[in-house]
Every structure is written in C-alpha cells, then in structure tokens.
Amino acid sequence: MRFSRPFKRTEPEPDKTEQNLLTKKELLEIFVGHRVNSPFPGDWESIYKGSGYEFWGLREIEPGDSFRNIDWKATAKTGQYYVREYLAESYFNLMILYDVSKSVAFGRKELLQANVAVSLAYSAIVANNGCGLITFSDAVREYIPPRMGMAHFMQILLTIVRSEPQNCAATRINPSLTKLINEVPESLTFILSDFLYPWDCALSFQRTLHGTNKHEVKALQILEEAEVELPPDSDGMILLRDGETGEELLLDVSRWREYNRERRQKLETIKDRMIRAGIDHLVLTPRDDFRRKIHALIHKSLP
C-alpha cells in the first residue's frame, strides 16, 4: 500500500534538528532572484569512480577486475583480495531519474525529492560536470539530456519545479532505465523514488543495466516518516487510499508495533534486492539531513 493521504499522529513536536525543506517557489527564487544565502553546496567532491589517478578507496575483488589494481598491502593484512579504485580524470554525466507518480504527493515526499534533485544537479553543474534529468511514472514523462552550464541547470530546475504527480495505474521504472541506456553513454545515476511499487529490483536492474559497467546507479528511497514507522502509542483508525490503484485500507494505528515490524521487513527486502543488484541504497525522510547522508553514501569505502 502506497499512502495517498497524510494522517494525524500522536508523535511529539519535531525537534530543532529537523531539516527545513524549501518549497518549489523558494527553490526557484534562490536562482531566479539570485538569493545570496543559498543552502546548496557547491563544493561536493568529484564522485564519479573511473580510471583516473586520484585514489578513491578499496573494495573486494570482483570478476573482471584487473590484477594490476590489487592492493597487496590490504590483501596481506586481511587475507582477502582488495582492488584500488580511482576518481575519473575528466568530467562525468550525473543523471537524475525522478519519480512523478501519484504516490509522491503523500506528505512531504514530493518536496523532499525536489530539494534532493536540485541539490544534486546544482552540485554537478558548479563542478563543471554534465547533468541530465528523466522524469517517470508508468512511462518516461520528460527527458533532458546531460549538458553543462547554469542555463542548462535552470532548465532542469524549472522542470522539477513545474512537475506534478501523475495519475497512472502502476509505476514502471524500466522505461526510464532503457532511456538512460539508449541515450547516455555513461553516467553516475541517482534514482529518486519511494520504490514501494511491486517490482523485482534486482531483476530489473540486472536485465537493463548489467552487461555495461558505464552506468553507476544509486537508489535514494524517498519516504514520509509514517511509511517507515509509526510513533509509539499511536491510537485511532485511519482510512488510507492508494493513489494509483484506488485500493483502500482501514489502518488501526494502535497496532503500531505490528505495523512497524512489517515496514522494517519490507524495507529490508527492498534493501536486499538493491544489494543483490549491485546498487547502493539509502532511505531518506523529511527529518534527515539529506546532504550529509548522501555525502556519506557517495564517499563510503571499505577499510
């Protein structure tokens, strides 16, 4: 069930660490109005792993890796074969696959997605990298090929700001992945979606992306807090309606322990499928410092 309507909760007031998400109007005003105090970082380090000379990190050896990249010190220390990875020498294309299906209208998911996407696009553009956008629901809605420059960033920004949740019977991600493969030679790709629709993540990615190692994909699972867990001691009955299928569910939130257990299991299943597909996966909610969490995801490396 993908929520289509927020509900009252008995949780305490948000603490002072909760992130202030900018509205779409504010996102536009930052750049159109040339507001000085922009919250968007322009100094995120290069994040595309390639065949350059700047050391990135270590990982366990995989089929197809060159023995020339084995780090013998780490191998001797751990007893496991590790290879060295490096940052690419030149610019890269950052692609954003952006879910505009109806379920993103629940709570603050659409707002969080917009903030994350604009931040990623801006960081790529100011670092003189190419950036592109694919919006999708049951099919590809809009495609902006990767290019450089602030004028191109403004095109991406306007597309995100003007996007609206689309009615569709079921979200389908494969058309946008196929578009990515056919149109972009190589990329670092972030998929922004709730990933709660029925699909086999591992199978989809393996069939569509595997066979080429020119696209590195990271999944950012954008969820409202209630889609992760209910606060303790919740009480009452809530009628929920799936925004895509129309299915309705009467939820007894006093059974929050069972609900939270089921949600943990579902999220773990999605994470496991991502791992089996070789995809880095991160859950983000409106309460998260998404820049810090994405930065940690990007720069994580094996010891």
For residue 197, give the 3-state DSSP assignment. coil
Return the bridge partners of 294, or none.
none
CATH superfamily ID and name for 24-48+88-299: von Willebrand factor, type A domain (3.40.50.410)
Whole-prediction pTM value? Answer: 0.75
Contact (Cβ atoms closer than 8 angstroms) between residue 271 and residue 281: yes
Contact (Cβ atoms closer than 8 angstroms) between residue 283 and residue 219: no
- The confidence score (pLDDT) of residue 132 equals 97
Q: β-strand 49-50 against 215-222: which pairing, if any?
A: unpaired
- The confidence score (pLDDT) of residue 10 equals 35
Total Cβ atoms within 10 A of residue 169:
12
Mean pLDDT in runs of 10 for the chain (303 residues)?
A: 40 46 85 60 48 64 74 86 67 89 91 94 86 95 94 95 89 90 90 82 57 78 90 78 70 81 90 82 92 80 37
Phi and psi at 288, nearest 5°, equal -80, 150
Give me the residue spans of the domains in the chain.
Answer: 24-48+88-299
